[in-house]
Amino acid sequence: MATPKKVLVTGGAGFVGTLLCQAIVAAPGLVFRALDLPGSRLDALARDGETVAGDLLLPGVLESGLAGCSAAVHLVVAHEHAPLELHEKLTIGGARRVVEAAKSVGVRRLLFMSSIKAARDYEGFYGACKRRAEAIVRESGLDWTIFRPGLLYGPGETRLSAIARTLRAWPVFPLPGDGSYPIYPLRTVDLVAALLRALESSEAIGRIYELGSDRPWRLDEIVRLVGEHIGQRRPILKLPLSPCRALGALAEKLTRHPVLFAEQIKAMQVRFPPPDTEPAKRDLGFTTVPFPQGLAELAAGWAARRPR
């Protein structure tokens, strides 16, 4: 029997990484090694694959993670609301370290997770640093593929569930901006299916794939749909962006996972172009369910977990 291909997943215990590792376990001929900071989420993965607990910026951590692997999927990123220094250190520095370590260990295949926000120049640190990290990967000489997904949702996500929590808690829904900000949501499971196909495809080498919904969903439409699913239809209170940016900056200081943060507001001041999903459809058979269907699945999970 052929030896299974081992795939290093950096950020393997995160939202996308956990689902990717589960999908690798289910895929014939593949096994995973998850690299992440130590903790219970990483420990839980040890039942189904190998794990490496450590900070990938520390010397030797990536090298030991990559040793014996055929490919790497690099997911680690600074949180979107992190300061510029951390984006530079982790998003850009992490990409540089992955490239150096892959070359030194002899791993040629690298999938790099970027974002739809790398597709356009804007004031935000997150998209700008993703774009600089993409450049490091593109110039690496490795067999790279870059993914630029829109908003990801599925079990374990935090954005749509934060909208649901706010709708349950407040008589009105405070919404930064006029509600027209376009979002291109994508089920994490559909992203993961595209990643698995890219691991097996030579067509995908040297390509950037944009992924997301086929049509834009306005932020106020998304709030309304979430409200319908949880039986909480609230009036939407549209707020000017500038004070929200200040409030977001304050929220970042008060909590590790703020619902509102200044980087989001910066992003809302630009209109990201729709993802061009044709290359991913052609090369990877990419497909995703319409957002209302995906949201209904997610909301069913929320309902199942709520105490009666």
Ligand X SMILES: NC(=O)c1ccc[n+]([C@@H]2O[C@H](COP(=O)([O-])OP(=O)(O)OC[C@H]3O[C@@H](n4cnc5c(N)ncnc54)[C@H](OP(=O)(O)O)[C@@H]3O)[C@@H](O)[C@H]2O)c1
Binding site for ligand X (CB under 6 A): 11, 13-17, 36-37, 55-57, 75-77, 90, 113, 115, 149, 151-152
In whole angstroms, how large is the CA radius of gyration of the chain? 19
CB 7 within 8 A of CB 33: yes
Of 115 and 166, which CB lies nearer to ligand X in the complex structure? 115
Tokens of 265: 């507001």
Of 37 and 251, which CB lies nearer to ligand X in the complex structure? 37
Beta strands 217-218 and 182-183 are: antiparallel
Closest distance to ligand X from the beta carbon of 36 (Å): 4
Closest distance to ligand X from the beta carbon of 1 (Å): 32
Closest distance to ligand X from the beta carbon of 182 (Å): 15
CB-based contacts of 250: which residues, under 8 Å, 6+ apart? none
Closest distance to ligand X from the beta carbon of 171 (Å): 28
Closest distance to ligand X from the beta carbon of 54 (Å): 7
Cα separation of 66 and 68, whole Å?
6
Cα separation of 167 and 169, whole Å?
6
Of 37 and 241, which CB lies nearer to ligand X in the complex structure? 37
Closest distance to ligand X from the beta carbon of 221 (Å): 18
Q: Which of 58, 46, 62 is nearest to 13 (CA)?
A: 46
Q: Name the residue number minimizing CB distance to ligand X.
A: 14
Of 56 and 299, which CB lies nearer to ligand X in the complex structure? 56
- The 10 Å Cβ neighbour count of residue 251 is 17
Task: Report, in this order, helix, strand and coil percent for the chain, each rounded to 5.
Answer: 45, 20, 35
